[in-house]
Amino acid sequence: MYAWLVYLFSILTLMPLFEWIHGSLNHAVLQWCWDHVGMPLLRAVLMVIFIVIADPVLFGFSDAPALSSLLAADDMRIHYLINVLFVLTLLFPLIPVIGRCYEFILPAQGMAASLLLFSWVAEARALVDVRYWPGLDTLGYLLVIAFVTHWLAVLVARRLGQMLDTEFNVLGSGELISRGIVLFMQSPSILIFSLALGKQLG
């Protein structure tokens, strides 16, 4: 619960700032760079923050090394983690068929981050016989959760945006808050995947 509250506060604080930065850039090239480079990078950082503060709930057991200590064990790990999430965001749209589905980008980032952290946990516990595939049933469940939560987030953002537009006589509130609501509502899919991995070590 603490992790979600911090994550929600970060989203509510930073997402309007990100949108304001986009609007303050008066050049199409700069706006494109911000949308396709700056925003993905910052979302990757938010993802890492959520995952770290979700410890030890992330993998479902309390006797594992703290994720903060695992990241601190090697100065390059945090950079590697953020870079992987960033590159994944850039390359995801190039994947045939599924790359067009925006609702799967955040879960894909979360799964990649969980896999990396899980490999470091297994290494720290000197475990060799571990699997990094949670099973088709878990994957199918995650795809359904990702789709449903994304659809609900867009619906909530649209309704809430209409209310804000009417109340404050403005336009575009729904689009402003939609990204933040999607980030928050899709976070359970990350925990589901991580818990499926952590069952091996429980």
Side-chain-side CA neighbours of residue 150 (13 Å): 14
pLDDT at 2: 65
pLDDT at 64: 66
Given a cut of 80, whether residue 128 has pLDDT beyond it is no
Average pLDDT over residues 121-146: 83
Given a cut of 70, whether residue 56 has pLDDT beyond it is no
- pLDDT tens sequence across 18-36: 777 877 888 888 888 888 7
- pLDDT tens sequence across 140-191: 888 888 888 888 888 888 888 888 788 877 777 677 677 777 777 888 888 8
pLDDT at 60: 76
Helix (H), strand (E), coil (C) string for 12-77 = HHHHHHHHHHHHHCCCHHHHHHHHHHHHHHHHHHHHHHHHHHCCCHHHCCCCCCCHHHHHHCCHHH
Q: State the residue range of the domain holding 110.
A: 2-198
Average pLDDT over residues 39-47: 80
Number of independent structural domains in the chain: 1
Average pLDDT over residues 33-42: 81
> Among 40, 51, 66, which residue's Cα sits nearest to residue 190?
51
pLDDT at 141: 87
pLDDT at 26: 81
